[in-house]
Chain A
Amino acid sequence: MIRDAWRKIKGGGASSTGERPGLKPENLVWVFGTARTGSSWLSAMMGEMGGCSRWHEPLVGHLFGNLYYVRAGHRSEDEHFILGARYRELWLGMVRNFVLDSAAARFPEVAGGRYLIVKEPQGSVGAPLLMEALPESRMILLARDPRDVVASNLDAHKKDTWTADLMRKGGKEKPPSLAESSPDAFVKGQARRYVRDVGNAKLAYDAHRGRKVLIKYEDLRADTLGTIKRIYSDLEISVDEGELARSVEKHSWENIPEEEKGEGKFHRKATPGGWREDLTPEQVEIVERVAGPLLGELYPVRSTA
């Protein structure tokens, strides 16, 4: 059994399911960032363009990234560790097969040159590993002001909000959240999560030599069509402009029914800078302290520094 595996690896590391006809790694378009950056909105618009499918949060980045960077980060130099540095090339090849096989099984229609938009904000901790494993893939780094991200999460995790509805649909009750009992601690935790997710996505972005684009939620809100055209242009993906305009219009904030918008709902306010109303001065300070370097890099003009 071990001998067979070794032969397979020495023979080029082919996947367990053999060749993957038609599924080209360069046709994977990864969307990294963090939760509440507008990735659902962006990927919904892109996913329904002709010739595209959308993979909604596979969490493959979380699967590998959480162990590699968080839970067992201290073991990366240990040669026994399954994701150890000495065998990096080997396991990255398997991560690659893992993604491609899984994508091919779910989205057979992508074979033959179509694009698969992989919405993966909550797997961004593993973005450096994924992009190293799939260097031909395209990458979108979707950033948003961390203060607005934290404010949005603070609202989402209060009592009786859309996150509770989501859990209820799965037959579970949402446990009490720090967002209610200790909002400042919740804010600190979310700011750390932002740094982990967006920080690693930025690392991946900087290292990636393939097609890539960095966009800000704020620009997407201010000029949706212009920004999304820039995405397609930078990623060198051809797009039908009329179809794109229709998709942008269909998914616009203005087209969401009023009863589906507001506090406690998935579509909350979509207002860049809304954190000034949502967070206390202490909470703003917490976010700016924890996410300071990233905030300075992505949003050079700060509010309270």
Chain B
Amino acid sequence: MMGSQDGCAMWNEPLVGNLFGNFYYFRMGDRKMGKHSILGEHYKEAWLGPMRDLVLGGGAARFPEVVERGYLIIKEPNGSIGSPLLMEALPESSMIFLIRDPRDVVASSMDARSEGSWLSGRREDQGRTSKSNPNSYARTRANSYVQQIEKTSQAYSAHGGRKVMVRYEDLRADTLGTMKRIYATLHIPVNEGELVRAVEEHSWENIPEEEKGEGKKRRKATPGGWQEDLTSRQVEIVEDITAPLLEEFYPDAAITTRGAL
């Protein structure tokens, strides 16, 4: 919806956050504080600059139409682990923190990896295999949710520039109203008629029926669908791992299995 607005372009998952974040937060460990590691804490100024150039230069080369004026929407959910570094390197940027109930995220990811699904076919083409144990995968995905959301939350809190937090559930319930809030909060001018048309064009109802459903990229778009999708054991696993985030971002959504594990 945002990428289709006049004067905007969308950069679809550059993984630049994954590039730096994965290394900085997972691979380096204690070596961050030493002299030698390439992303050493004491030399942050030396590498944040080139990192900024990599993003800005990469964006400008790919999307020359927004170089002089306009906005580049960078969809980077799988690079969220590096969001604190990205926002530190680009403090003038605007940031959207998009969050969704972890139980629905895990349910959706599990469906995407199920046999014959849209993602499993792609993974097979790449020679990658999906986890065969659903409970084990639920645990893995819940853990990666925590890593990504914790880092995004950290970046969001520290970011001094324009920013907005949006819940997927609000976006589903009132897409136009939520989109307007995004643009208003980020101080980005938008043509309301154009926005209405984009919201309509990309609405769930406008997606052909044959492109929706289990195993497809557009699955059900139903907040709370996890209650049908996950086994009680899987709900326990996800709630146990994500409890602090559920409580912080979904205080009204009850944790159903507290103390079960």
Contacts and interface: CB of A to CB of B under 8 A. Distances in A.
5 contacts: A59-B28, A59-B37, A66-B22, A74-B126, A80-B14
A58 B37 contact: yes
B92 to A, nearest CB: 6
Interface stretch (B58-66, B204-212, B229-237): B58-66
A56 interface: yes
Given A8-B53, A59-B27, A94-B50, A2 B59 contact: yes
Contacts of B28: 59
A6 B67 contact: yes
Contacts of A1: 56, 90, 92-93
Interface of B: 11-16, 18-20, 22-23, 27-31, 35-40, 43, 45-47, 49-62, 64, 66-68, 72, 90, 92-93, 126, 128
B92 A64 contact: no
Contact of A60 (B14, B35, B38): B38
Prevailing SS type, chain A contact patch = helix
A102 B58 CA distance: 20
A17 B18 CA distance: 24
Contact of B54 (A91, A102, A104): A91
Contacts, number: 139
B207 to A, nearest CB: 22
B36 A58 contact: yes
A121 B27 CA distance: 15
Prevailing SS type, chain B contact patch = helix
Contacts of A4: 56
Contact of B19 (A2, A64, A97, A102): A64
A167 B66 CA distance: 48
A99 B54 CA distance: 13
B61 to A, nearest CB: 5
A66 B92 CA distance: 29
Contacts of B27: 59, 62-63, 66
